[in-house]
Amino acid sequence: MTRGAIKNSLFPLLGVAVILVVWQLYTDVFAISRIVLPSPLDIFDACAANWDALLRQSWPTFSESVLGFLLAVVVGIPFAVCVASSRILNLTLYPILIATQSIPKVAIAPIILVWFGLGMQSKLVIAFLVAFFPIVVDTAAGIRATPPALLELARSLRASPLQIFLKIQFPAALPFIFAGAKVAVTLAVIGAVIGEFVGSVSGLGNLLLSANSQLDSALAWAALVWLSALGILLFAAVVVAERIVMPWSDAGHR
């Protein structure tokens, strides 16, 4: 990490620190009930006291989100390739995709639970469903945005359709694919938690719900903090993957 990057990450940390201090002072000075709004120190205590439970419950949520996301990548990219390269498939599939996307996932979550049960599969499916759309839309957009001059160059050498796809269209679409993946991975966590809210026996969403029902607000908030940490971690993983897969993307401005 360069000195500039360290400096840049100091500012958000400073922002968070200011919010935490104001929050703590507010709850202390106005003597806010811990049930209504636990203070940052309360939440920290809850994290420390329940770290093993939090860690244990993170695992199902983590694997549901990651597997749902990966499934969306594995299914979504080929789907997008078909849609982007065939007019007929585009006309047939795109309206269906948009129609399904406009159904609120919270509304179909109960149905999916009926189909896939209370276990991990149902959450995985919901995470997959929410992550699928941004991956498909961005991948298709990326393939369509391939510079025409590069396609002409390939044509002048009589490249085969497979060569054109592998050597030009796919790499040209990579920045778009990663943009979609960043959105998708955070959505996947939300999808997994929606599934856990609707019906589950484990996971951070489950923990949050049960802490709430016992009026243990500090623990509920701790689960929330844990969840956002999970989201940030997965987002960061995609960013790292992007840097590895596309080393050229930041080569120009070093």
> What is the distance between the alpha carbons of residues 115 and 109, in angstroms, rounded to a whole number?
10
CA 32, 37, 39, 42: dihedral to nearest 10 degrees? 110
Q: Which is nearer to other proteins, 33 or 156 (CB)?
A: 156
Q: Nearest distance from residue 154's CB to other proteins, in Å?
A: 7
Per-residue mark of binding to other proteins, 123-162 (x: CB under 8 A): ------------------------x-xx-xxxxxxxx---
Q: Which residue has the tokens 């498909």?
A: 136
Q: Mention every residue, 6+ apart, whose C-beta is less than 8 A from residue 179.
A: 138
Closest CA to 219 of 65, 20, 51, 63: 51
Q: Nearest distance from residue 160's CB to other proteins, in Å?
A: 8
CA 94, 98, 99, 100: dihedral to nearest 10 degrees? 100
Q: Is 171 in the site for other proteins (CB under 8 A)?
A: yes
* Window 43 to 102, contacts with other proteins (CB under 8 A): none
Q: Nearest distance from residue 157's CB to other proteins, in Å?
A: 4
Q: Which stretch binds other proteins (CB under 8 A): 31-39, 64-72, 171-179, 200-208?
A: 171-179
Q: Which is nearer to other proteins, 4 or 247 (CB)?
A: 247
Q: Which is nearer to other proteins, 154 or 188 (CB)?
A: 154
Q: Which is nearer to other proteins, 107 or 251 (CB)?
A: 251
Q: Nearest distance from residue 175's CB to other proteins, in Å?
A: 9
Which class for 160: exposed (0-12), middle (13-18), buried (19 or more C-beta within 10 A)?
exposed
Q: Nearest distance from residue 139's CB to other proteins, in Å?
A: 16
Q: Which is nearer to other proteins, 114 or 241 (CB)?
A: 241
Which class for 162: exposed (0-12), middle (13-18), buried (19 or more C-beta within 10 A)?
exposed
Q: Is 117 in the site for other proteins (CB under 8 A)?
A: no
> What is the distance between the alpha carbons of residues 208 and 38, in angstroms, rounded to a whole number?
14
* Pair 97, 225: CB distance under 8 Å: no
Give the footprint of other proteins on this chain (CB under 8 A).
147, 149-150, 152-159, 163, 167-168, 171-172, 174, 246, 248, 251-253
